[in-house]
Structure 1
């Protein structure tokens, strides 16, 4: 990555976060690859971006909405331009193989953890995780400290009991066949129109501010009729 000049003031992170919010995204985590041993990166500062409450209306008003794969195409354009404006390098969780190691980056950010059913859980959006990209900066600058403690340690784990067919479970993690089978039934339409019941059962998932229409869009992409 070509070295870009970075602000020398201590508010670099705040300026980056402000630009991210204006784009309809949220910071899902931040880390220094040199200190955390993050895969694929040697140094600098990595900021993970996710879909915030403003993401869905902004996507629907964007030119990408009328074509195929609107979420990925919007992410490529918006995050790509943000990277150019901020002097960073953009990475995306799609477009492979090979794929960028977003799961490794997320776990090493100290804000994302493995839930009792194996799916990732985030400290502010629960299991309604949607990573849209990441910004990698050449410089190491200050980032917020995090506790690094999983919210699952004090949770009664409703995610282990909510799936109607046990597709997400604490033993085998994810039974994809059982999930698709359920979604094809009349009973499965609750998940199809509102989102995965197990993921929604996480107490922190409400923090995502997820529009059910957005969840339905992702469910149709996962399970086309």
Structure 2
């Protein structure tokens, strides 16, 4: 089984993706695997920084320009190919009905949410993502997970709650409509072209910060999804 994990890691790495931990399901909350039987194990698939971007752009050049949610589609296809090769079922955070990806991620890697809701990683900061998961009907032996340091606990200033000009994020939560109106408005160009100012203000994981064009892509997706 360890050799299989290494081969999965290699297949994902060819597309800028990576394994993000995993765990065994108790019988009570297991989704179904490839054959329809309950899954016994899960491996989370994601990214650190913008590693998949060039792979995604190369794929995107071959697709119709009007394709909806291209990054989700690329992720599904890429992870689905790996799943088929290794006898797993691929699932995505955007699948409906929605699966508990954030809970799975916290369970797999021991992470906690930042004040922005994004899980804080001790190495990547806020600059990482989960693109899908592989569900196996066999139990996979995984290394014991160590609890991650939650960097937000040591951050006194909380610049992530002070940089947005409309205070979209606060300790009370995310003011979705306020954020959306600002990004769409005349003063929202810095957000549209360079990403969320609160997220960019976080001092951790800056070596993995998404380039401006990647952040602009995600911000455009955020605005489009609300239309």
Same fold, TM exceeding 0.5? yes
* CA-CA distance at 1:129 after TM superposition: 3.9
* CA-CA distance at 1:30 after TM superposition: 2.3
* CA-CA distance at 1:40 after TM superposition: 4.0
Aligned length: 214
Contact 2:161 2:198 in 1 (8 A): yes
* CA-CA distance at 1:148 after TM superposition: 3.3
Give CA-to-partner distance per residue, 1:171-215, whole Å, 9 cap, x none: x21001110121123332111111111112223342534222111
CA distance in 2, matches of 1:65, 1:26: 27
Q: Which residue of 2 aligns with 1:24?
A: 16
* CA-CA distance at 1:77 after TM superposition: 1.0
CA distance in 1, matches of 2:58, 2:218: 18
* CA-CA distance at 1:44 after TM superposition: 3.1
Contact 1:125 1:208 in 2 (8 A): yes
**SS of corresponding position for 2:145:** coil
Describe how 1:105-184 pairs up with structure 2 within 5 A: 105-137=104-136, 138-143=138-143, 145-156=145-156, 157-170=158-171, 172-184=172-184
Confirm whether residue 57 of structure 1 aligns to residue 54 of structure 2.
yes
CA distance in 1, matches of 2:29, 2:189: 39
Contact 2:24 2:40 in 1 (8 A): yes
Query: Which moves more between the two structures, 153-162 or 100-109?
Result: 153-162
After superposition, the Cα gap between the structure-2 partners of 1:142 and 1:51, relative to the gap in structure 1 and judged at 3 Å, is closer
Q: Which residue of 2 aligns with 1:194?
A: 194
Q: Following superposition, which runs of at least 4 residues in structure 1 exceed 6 angstroms of deviation? A: none
Q: Which residue of 1 aligns with 2:35?
A: none
CA distance in 2, matches of 1:43, 1:95: 17
* CA-CA distance at 1:80 after TM superposition: 0.4
Please report the TM-score for the alignment, with normalisation by the length of structure 2: 0.81
After superposition, the Cα gap between the structure-2 partners of 1:185 and 1:198, relative to the gap in structure 1 and judged at 3 Å, is same
Please report the TM-score for the alignment, with normalisation by the length of structure 1: 0.82
After superposition, the Cα gap between the structure-2 partners of 1:123 and 1:211, relative to the gap in structure 1 and judged at 3 Å, is same
Once superposed, what is the RMSD of the aligned Cα atoms? 2.6
